[in-house]
Amino acid sequence: MGAWASGPFDNDDAQDVLQDVLEMTADEATAALDTMMAAVLDQNGYLEAPDMSAAIGAACIVAISHGAPDAEPDLDEWRMESGFAPDQSMVARAAQVLARAAEPVDNEWYDLWDEPGRLEEPLTALLPYRQALTRRM
In a domain, 44, yes or no: yes
In a domain, 4, yes or no: no
Given pLDDT bands bounded at 50, 70 and 90, which one contains residue 71?
A: confident
In a domain, 75, yes or no: yes
Q: Which residues of 24-60 are buried (b: 16+ CB within 10 A; e: fewer)?
A: bebeebbebbbebbebbbebeeebbbbbbbbbbbbbb
**Rounded mean pLDDT of 117-131?**
96
The pLDDT, as a whole number, for residue 91 is: 97
> Does residue 57 have a pLDDT over 80?
yes
Computed over every residue of the chain, the mean pLDDT equals 93
In a domain, 36, yes or no: yes
In a domain, 25, yes or no: yes
Given pLDDT bands bounded at 50, 70 and 90, which one contains residue 18?
A: very high
> Does residue 135 have a pLDDT over 90?
no
The pLDDT, as a whole number, for residue 130 is: 97
Task: Please give the model's pTM, rounded to 2 decimal places.
Answer: 0.95
Distance CA 82, CA 85 (A): 9
The pLDDT, as a whole number, for residue 2 is: 58
The pLDDT, as a whole number, for residue 69 is: 87
Containing structural domain, residue 47:
12-134
The pLDDT, as a whole number, for residue 3 is: 60
In a domain, 49, yes or no: yes
**Rounded mean pLDDT of 18-30?**
97
The pLDDT, as a whole number, for residue 129 is: 97
Number of structural domains, the chain?
1
* Phi and psi, residue 107, nearest 5°: -140, 95
The pLDDT, as a whole number, for residue 110 is: 97
In a domain, 32, yes or no: yes
> Does residue 1 have a pLDDT over 60?
no
In a domain, 27, yes or no: yes
